[in-house]
Structure 1
């Protein structure tokens, strides 16, 4: 049974998205679970052409960053001490921009985060690998080295942040998100006991998506046949949306297929999830279940599915 629900771990919580609705549930410091549900209208609903293969992947990637940053910021508000006085910067922003400044700041953070990621994972590996081309290394070997450096930087980044206590808990909530979706897709009731039995890995995970972005980039960059350095960099940047779109199509296919070849190709991404997910406790599972319930009536759905199989 395939349920088109995706999610993301946030600070002390989980966000789940189903079609045009998303819910973020957070375990507050007092132990209660707070759930907020909102609607999100995709730009592809206004421009159907953006629902075409590859294009939909680009749109999904961009919108996931926006929603993800928004829900992450929402969850972080519960961690902060509510009695603290706003900083001078926050007071100035509230005074001059009213409630709109948060949206402006959010957009700026998303753009800055994307720029840093592109520079770190796309541009830097090119310049590092290009050093070896001057020592007589063949072009295919340099491109392969560039891909390996890209993967190495990504793995190093994951290992480094996983040592932070807050990130460790986020990775546990990431595991809770996957377990809950796996349980739902298996057709079982969403109870903490049932959910805990399932794997913390999932084929449609964003970690797998990022891994395939790096692998597929090796193939795409092989066809860049220009000599000017700035043009090589520019073409790499221009190809990022296309690579993201193709990677999305593969992840989408993997999530809907039990084909042994597709399953085998998904294995590296699943192995990488061993770093970005951790085994959650039952209290985290409860948060993930509450988030699903914010966007999906799983009890009615499972009841209908069971009746159809009888």
Structure 2
């Protein structure tokens, strides 16, 4: 494997998310958050994370751990960014905050109720009304689930503040693309890349919908209560299968068939990304630079640097 191939393989370990007026980047050594403060400075916060145990990296097991970590550290990054935007530079640690853990738990419960159970209830009602087959019921459930996601993303994307978050989302994707391509990690180097990325969390949502439709179609339960209970019990399996499918599609994007099959994941990101300006790219690059620095100097830090 050539040097460019090695760079691309190492870069696959980087990802992130948008936060309020900023970007969080996670690398193999830890996470870094960069936020544009009201005075124009870029406030940085980085944290080293312990490496996962070997068994936590096994295929079909790693997806569940990664999903929880994404929720946990993503919530902390959002709180940190909110504090910076409000004029503060500190954020309480998620692991030390019962309120934060309660917020995550409540958010998960609400998401499960709306995203997982509501479509099943709607499909069940239509099946009984028109005496449809179980296969049609499962198909309707998937359609309702997709409709909920699309409707929600389209609705929230109309809010001006959310549009700015979506633009930072695009900036995060651009700088990760630049890293993977071995391009200069500068505003000029990142600007030409697309705002969509195969490993995006939005792509994960669509993958979950597809995998759920296939997985749930083969459940043996006959009553509504049994079906709902099985859906909840199989959540770790659903997360694991969806993560592996997304990882495979991102890893083999150079294969035409894989790229074609994963194209809807990229199309959906038109709802969750916007074209960033150069100031947003500067913030995303600062987060990426701080995350990469953790590989050679694994120490948590927090500071601000003037914008250029």
Counterpart of 1:112?
106
SS of alignment partner, residue 114 of structure 2: helix
Counterpart of 1:35?
44
1-side partners of 2:96 and 2:57: how far apart?
Answer: 29
The structure-2 alpha-carbon separation of the partners of 1:113 and 1:261, relative to structure 1 and needing over 3 Å to count, comes to same
Whose helix proportion is higher, 1 or 2?
Answer: 1
Counterpart of 1:69?
75
1-side partners of 2:38 and 2:97: how far apart?
Answer: 26
Counterpart of 2:189?
194
Asked if 1:130 corresponds to 2:139, the answer is no
Instruction: From 261, 268, 271, give the equivalent of 1:272.
Output: 268
Instruction: From 287, 291, 303, give the equivalent of 1:291.
Output: 287
Alpha-carbon displacement from aligned partner over 1:245-285 (angstroms, at most 9, x marks no partner): 11111111122211112111110110000110000000000
- The alignment's TM-score, normalised by the length of structure 1, stands at 0.87
2-side partners of 1:236 and 1:129: how far apart?
Answer: 14
2-side partners of 1:100 and 1:145: how far apart?
Answer: 38
Show the 5 A alignment for 1:1-310.
1-2=8-9, 3=11, 4-41=13-50, 44-45=52-53, 48-80=54-86, 103-134=97-128, 135-257=130-252, 258-296=254-292
2-side partners of 1:191 and 1:185: how far apart?
Answer: 14
2-side partners of 1:186 and 1:101: how far apart?
Answer: 35
Deviation for aligned residue 1:184: 1.3
Q: Give the total of aligned pairs.
A: 281
SS of alignment partner, residue 35 of structure 1: strand
2-side partners of 1:27 and 1:99: how far apart?
Answer: 20
1-side partners of 2:181 and 2:223: how far apart?
Answer: 52
Counterpart of 1:88?
none
SS of alignment partner, residue 270 of structure 2: helix
2-side partners of 1:99 and 1:137: how far apart?
Answer: 50
Alpha-carbon displacement from aligned partner over 1:49-69 (angstroms, at most 9, x marks no partner): 222111101110111100000
1-side partners of 2:177 and 2:75: how far apart?
Answer: 24
| Structure 1 segments unaligned to the other structure (5+ residues) | 83-97, 301-310
2-side partners of 1:35 and 1:50: how far apart?
Answer: 29
2-side partners of 1:14 and 1:292: how far apart?
Answer: 9
SS of alignment partner, residue 225 of structure 2: helix
| Structure 2 segments unaligned to the other structure (5+ residues) | 1-7, 297-308
RMSD, matched Cα: 1.9
- The alignment's TM-score, normalised by the length of structure 2, stands at 0.87
